[in-house]
A and B are shown apart, each in its own frame.
Chain A
Amino acid sequence: MPKIFIDNTSYEVKAGKNVLEACLTLGFDLPYFCWHPAMGSVGACRQCAVKVYKDENDTSGKIIMSCMEGVRDGMHLSIDDKAAKAFREQVIEWLMTNHPHDCPVCDEGGSCHLQDMTVMTGHDYRRYDYKKRTYVNQYLGPFIHHEMNRCIQCYRCVRFYKDYAGGKDLNVFAAHNHVYFGREKDGTLESPFSGNLAEVCPTGVFTDKTLRQHYTRKWDLTSAPSVCQHCSVGCNTIAGERYGGLRNIVNRYNAEVNGYFLCDRGRFGYEFVNSENRITKPQVMHQAVDENALMHHLETVLTNHSLIGIGSPRASMESNFALLDLVGKENFFCGVYNEEMMLERRITDILDSGKIPVASLKQIEDADAVVILGEDIWNTAPMMALAVRQSVMKTGGREATEKTPMPEWHELAVKELQQNTKGFMVNVTVTETSLDEIASLNINAAPDDIARLGFAIANHIHPSLELKNFEEAVLAKAKTIADELLKCSNPVIITGTSCYNDPVLRAAFDIAAALKAAGKAPAIAFVVPECNSMGLAMMRGHAFDTAVRRVNREPNVTAVILEQDLYRNLPAGIVDEFLSKCRNIIVLDSLNNATTEKAHVLIPASTFAEGDGTLISYEGRAQRYYQVYVPDNKYIRESWKWLSRMKMIISGKANGHDPHHDSVISSLETALRQFAGISAAAPSSGFSIHGEQIPREPHRYSGRTAMLANRNVSEPKPVADGDSPLSFTMEGYQGTPPSSAIPFFWKPGWNSPQAVNKYQQEIGGDLIGGNPGVRLFVKSSGNMPEFFKDYPEHFRERQNKWLLLPQSHVFGSDELSVYSAGIAGRSPEPYMGLSPVDAKMLDVTEGSQVTIKSEKEEYSFPVKIVESLRNGIVLVSKGLPGTQGMSWGNWVELAK
């Protein structure tokens, strides 16, 4: 480790870092703007100036930009040097010459990096007394508010939007002190990662427009560490509340998962919590009832009836387990489409075997090659797509700097050398995707053919099976891909359930297994549909079909349906049949939907914001989300609390106390061995530091004594939280909490999200105490063949039948996030994709209405001709209005 001297004190620092990173890691407060730990150094803002000396005898030294200089052993630096300090202060004064000083009316005020850096440099008096330049702001769509006058031209926005995330419609225009960051003309920012602008912008140019619509100062938020509910990736978030409403979602750094960023679905999809459509009171037969009446009614329907439970892929582990505990293992079914459930079983079998490790997003970013089989991750797991982009770019950068070594943080130099050099990435999907443009190879094929290609790749890497009847072209492609993979050391194979095709999953495993046999260190990622699909699959409940058979056989069934709209996931005919045969239907959910309409007993469940829970991400990472606030509605409780109460009714202990979170989790660990270790995902509720809990509110929180004064002048006692070590107050432990229980990032002098620096072991590295989450697929258990080898026949078109496959959309395909007006507005109109040949055959053109007929349902959509689609497949927008409950992966008839 190089030893460097900072103001004559020696420090050991990590080699290969720049001076700024080294200083920040050591805990020095050195101001910066343009540098970003995930985006490297470009030397534009000149804010991080320090003095560097030739040696210990050099007393004059010279000013350097610490972000642009690598650490060298024996380096002598000064942060405190007068000239360096004066320069840093002057840089702020320059930036302030045009900054409007509108902090009091700026959304960023109080959590602004520019404010922090201004204070840090000591600048307090502006000598510039001329006219400031002003700009016209732009309309940038529903998510981001634009206020260009505040811009300090750090270039972070375009570097994130264009370079890091591959966006095309944000740019820098004009020159000198008229540099403008925006779109060519007003309009919605197209990238699904645009929300990150609000966090990468060091001041208030790009701010969260959804927060603005119900604005509160960020220090006035009651916040809790949370986990995104809108796909299976499990990004870590912080959710903030004020006056009983959820106000915003921001990034919660997790080096292994989402790093510094979130996708827009995750960031802006929270408004379902505040929706008018929330279920606010228990109902019996569509009549609102009070708790006594509810309990009384529950007693009659829960006892003397045979109970079955329908588990939910979007409910927490705690709630799913409480349901299983209520109804018994043998009566626990998954509310998941049968075809999907079989795939998820396959996935958990593969992951359980422990043969191939699961790739975290960080591992995907660091992979030196990526193969995607049959999953449009841009739309089903956007942050994974962003990670793949980083793999492609970083690998390209490493390749380009092999002969001309450049440190990885030197963004400018690496980019110049790199030009268009990209890492190896193969994107094999049913139709074109947004990741195609960075792929080395794009192949569009039918699911069976995707699988065949996968098996052929595996075979080329490790000749273990005979390939019969394989087309030459497929073999040639497979060889090209295999040859490239053999040049790599830590490739990642990504696949998922979207093809509704088991061979695709097996092929992905075979590729990984072959690579492992060839001495590589492969990892695999299986994308599943919902935030807790993996957790539900791991519970190994019975298939929904079995539940239907059960109610057909048994007359006296009370079904308890947990947090889901069965009509979204399953064909309506099957759901209708099921529900009509149930004697009693108890539904617990947070929002009204087609299933809750059929409930005999409807119970209001909390969302992630009003309750505690644990979700298991695609990587088998169990992650805890905490209740953000206590709703002003005593009926809104976690489903697991309601379900435990039901259990008490059955066991005749109706007056017992609600269980605490700790006991639910420990029962889960005991009852289902596959979840052993899950309790380590978060500290227990009794956890405290020096006897203090972790406050959800920063010490700057204001209005506590006033906000309820219209009702009572006495400040109420804060509600006690029996489920977590977090408190609903400002008081408590002011130091760094355990990494999985960080409700907000704040350190003295660091009021913006960039305070995260102070929570990391090293800048851009792991959080102090390790990254949140417990990975459950670590033990090797279960049997798994060395290779599956069983490739399918190649895809054949059928006469008058089409294979129905989903087209997912970042905005629109997810059930809950569309409650946010902005996301609903960005959802496309549902359509039906057909190949040009099929369209011609059916004699339909773009926009013609075509009807899909499956066994029991008919759906009609306008046609979109998709050039890249194989003949014999029909693609339908997933999850959009009118596209619920489709028989994905089945053959359907089409009619004009």
Chain B
Amino acid sequence: MERPLTKDIKSDGSYLNIKEYEKAGGYAALRKVIKGMSPAEVQETVRASKLKGRGGAGFSTGMKWSFVPMGEDAPKTKYLICNADEMEPGTFKDRVLLEGNPHQLIEGMIIASYAIQANISYVFLRWAYREAARVIQKSLNEAYEAGYLGEKILGSGFSLHMHLHTGVGRYMCGEETALLNALEGKRATPRAKPPFPQVSGLYGKPTIVNNVETLCCVPHIINNGPQWFIGLSKSEDSGTKIYGVSGKVNRPGAWELPMGVTMGELIEEYAGGMKNGYKLKGALPGGASTDFLTTEHMNVKMDFNSVAAAGSRLGTGTMIVMDDATCPVGFVHNLQHFFAQESCGWCTPCREGLPWVEKILLSLENGGGKEEDIGLLEMHGQLLGPGNTFCALAPGAMEPLQSAIKYFKDDFVEHIKKRGCPYN
């Protein structure tokens, strides 16, 4: 089983420096691109690999790039941005790549920048990833020194400057347009789409925002070709995926696996099954903003379409497992507390709806639940849907809530009847 993204990551926790990375074959893809591929060829290769964005939405990377204006008439300044603001609760897969092999990301970003002919690039990093910030900055310096960044890269006509930007800890910045606003020094509120960032992004210029894991795939696709990348997968989505499991399992962690392992395989084989005395009650397959899956979904393949068919989303592919000793209402309340706090305050339904939801859930927990509360929660699940809100934050927040009501309604009813949390 090939693990291109993680195979070189050292077990002692130290990062792969430039020498080590080069020794492992690093920057070969960049040389290949610079020496012999046109931007269009790079774009075509990535498109052919069927790489889908690993940030959660699963949009085709090649297609995203293809919307960037190219050629003589295109704006002179374009930007490539790595979204490393990994703040989805339960998600820590980018961190593995950022801390373990920063040059792999940098190489991916240089190639992506070349493909869209961007000459300024940013890593937008979650503030709390202090170690990642340290190693990325070191690696950027190394890459500049080695001539992989800066003017006329490897003697070519292509120049690229790359900067590390650390955020201030707002979940909202994971939304690509809010990220752009934050990067411009504005409030981290999302922008209207259209215009899409590919056309009007950072400072109004064409911009691509890709996730860390997505960009890390790029050098390998260039080195080994699209067919190889498609062949890595067990499902219709190509490549490997860094899956994670957290919760009361025996071996919580993150693993690079072929796209399309099943939920059961993940929990049982890789996470070592549930801890003694705990039963699996449900799981959020791809972070806090995905719908619950339950024991009936153990055979669902963890790829974008299969998880969607089961009523949830692959999201970031890092699963939060909920056991039978954990109160689903309290569990969801904790998530809604997070989402309500992280709402940027721009649009009404999210800004006002999420705190209401949070308060209802807390009241259920504290014994103040009323019969109509479930209806109110369901109403929010319905009305905080995509299109009704300005961005995807609130719709994402509603996914665990409405699926919890769907699968664990008895627990909600019980809270009202017993005037409190039966799990306490």
A residues whose Cβ falls under 8 Å from a Cβ of B: 42-47, 49, 62-64, 68, 86-87, 90-91, 94-95, 97-98, 127-128, 130, 152-153, 155, 172, 174-179, 400, 404, 406, 410, 412-413, 416-419
Contacts and interface: CB of A to CB of B under 8 A. Distances in A.
Nearest to A154: B348
A175 B344 contact: yes
A97 B345 contact: no
A743 B346 CA distance: 36
Contacts of A45: 347-348
Contact of B372 (A63, A127, A176): A127
Given A42-B192, A95-B348, A177-B345, 9 more contacts: A43-B347, A63-B388, A130-B356, A153-B348, A176-B355, A177-B354, A413-B192, A413-B194, A416-B195
Contact of B343 (A63, A175, A418): A175
A296 to B, nearest CB: 70
Contacts of B342: 175-176
Contacts of B348: 44-47, 91, 94-95, 152-153
Contacts of A46: 347-349, 388-390
B191 A177 contact: no
A26 B221 CA distance: 56
A117 to B, nearest CB: 12
B388 A49 contact: yes
A90 B372 CA distance: 16
B138 interface: no
Q: Which of B343, B356, B372, B379 has the most CB of A within 10 A?
A: B356
11 contacts: A43-B192, A44-B390, A62-B387, A94-B349, A94-B356, A172-B187, A400-B204, A404-B199, A412-B191, A417-B195, A419-B204
A704 B355 CA distance: 46
Q: Which of B194, B200, B372, B387 has the most CB of A within 10 A?
A: B200
B352 interface: yes
B96 interface: no
Nearest to A131: B359
A809 B6 CA distance: 67
Contacts, number: 105
Interface in B151-181: 170, 172
B337 to A, nearest CB: 11
Given A95-B352, A177-B351, A416-B195, A43 B390 contact: yes
A179 to B, nearest CB: 4
A97 B349 CA distance: 11
Given A62-B387, A64-B387, A94-B353, A410 B345 contact: no
Contacts of A127: 372, 376
Contacts of A153: 345, 348, 351
Q: Which of A95, A152, A404 has the most CB of B within 10 A?
A: A404
B373 to A, nearest CB: 10
Nearest to B350: A176
A91 B188 CA distance: 23
A90 B383 contact: yes
Nearest to A133: B355
B149 interface: no
A44 B356 contact: no
A418 B204 contact: yes
A406 B191 CA distance: 14
Contact of B345 (A43, A91, A128, A179): A179
A95 B353 CA distance: 9
Given A175-B345, A404-B199, A87 B383 contact: yes
Contacts of B200: 404, 413, 416-417
B132 to A, nearest CB: 24
A892 B356 CA distance: 70
Closest 10 CB pairs of A and B: A94-B352, A179-B345, A176-B343, A130-B359, A417-B204, A412-B192, A419-B204, A175-B345, A177-B355, A417-B200
A176 B358 CA distance: 13
B203 interface: yes
A42 B191 CA distance: 9
B388 A87 contact: yes
Contacts of A177: 340, 343, 345, 351-352, 354-355
User: Size band of the B side of the interface?
Assistant: 35 or more
A708 B79 CA distance: 72
Contact of A419 (B203, B345, B379, B383): B203
B229 to A, nearest CB: 33
Contacts of A128: 356
A176 B347 contact: no
Q: Which of B194, B346, B387 has the most CB of A within 10 A?
A: B346
Nearest to A415: B204
Contacts of A47: 348
B363 interface: yes
Contacts of B372: 127
Contacts of A64: 387
A254 B348 CA distance: 32
A91 B349 CA distance: 7
A153 to B, nearest CB: 6
A805 to B, nearest CB: 39
A481 to B, nearest CB: 27
B363 A130 contact: yes
A585 B86 CA distance: 82
A410 B352 contact: no
A98 B363 contact: no
Nearest to A405: B195
B10 to A, nearest CB: 39
B341 to A, nearest CB: 6
Contacts of A98: 352
Contacts of B195: 404, 406, 413, 416-417
Nearest to B340: A176
A64 B353 CA distance: 18
A177 B348 CA distance: 9
Nearest to A98: B352
A416 B191 contact: yes
Interface in B177-211: 187-188, 191-192, 194-195, 199-200, 203-204
A460 B370 CA distance: 79
Contacts of A176: 340-345, 351, 354-355
Contacts of B383: 86-87, 90
A64 B387 CA distance: 7
Contacts of A86: 383
Contacts of B355: 97, 176-177
A760 B200 CA distance: 34
A64 B347 CA distance: 14
B387 A63 contact: yes
A564 to B, nearest CB: 50
A168 to B, nearest CB: 15
Nearest to B74: A403
B371 to A, nearest CB: 12
B393 to A, nearest CB: 10
A412 B189 CA distance: 11
A601 to B, nearest CB: 63
A740 B172 CA distance: 49
A406 B193 CA distance: 11
Q: Which of A98, A172, A412 has the most CB of B within 10 A?
A: A412
Contacts of B172: 175
A339 B141 CA distance: 68
Contacts of A63: 387-388
Contacts of B349: 46, 90-91, 94
A177 B390 CA distance: 15
Contacts of B389: 46
A172 B187 CA distance: 9
A127 B390 CA distance: 24
A47 to B, nearest CB: 7
Nearest to B342: A176
Nearest to A158: B187
Q: Which of B192, B379, B387 has the most CB of A within 10 A?
A: B192
A44 B352 CA distance: 12
B204 A416 contact: yes
Interface string B311-342: 00000000000000000000000000000111
